[in-house]
Amino acid sequence: MFYLDRANVVSTLVVLGLILDAFLQLPTWTRDLSILGSPLTISISQTVLIAALLVGITCTGTDVIVRSHPAEGRRARNTCHSCCSRTAPAASPTNPSS
């Protein structure tokens, strides 16, 4: 499969995920915890779940596309470095003022 075909598959999965978000209604998952006597509530909504899913699809697709490039085969493949370096920018918030 050529890299353009892989890019098309990744973009199609992301668009389908966005369409699925419009039609799918998931309940909010809430968990109450007590840490060192302090109450803590963790809530995961549909937006957070879909966002995490789309970030995972995008990072995985980017990794597959980059690894399929002929120049990538000449370098040593370090999976941990690859995963960290491609996932961290997608998961970190951006500051438009900087």
**Using the 8-state DSSP alphabet, how is residue 28 labeled?**
P
**55 phi-psi bin (left φ>0, alpha ψ -120 to 50, beta other):** alpha
Residue 6 has what pLDDT? 78
Cβ count near 54 (within 10 Å) = 19
**Structure token digits, residue 82:** 């690859």
What sections of 1-98 are H helices per DSSP?
3-23, 46-68, 79-91
Per residue of the chain (98 residues), give pLDDT as tens: 565 677 888 888 888 888 988 888 888 889 898 888 889 998 989 888 888 888 888 888 887 777 777 666 655 555 555 555 655 666 666 555 54
Q: What is the pTM of this model?
A: 0.65
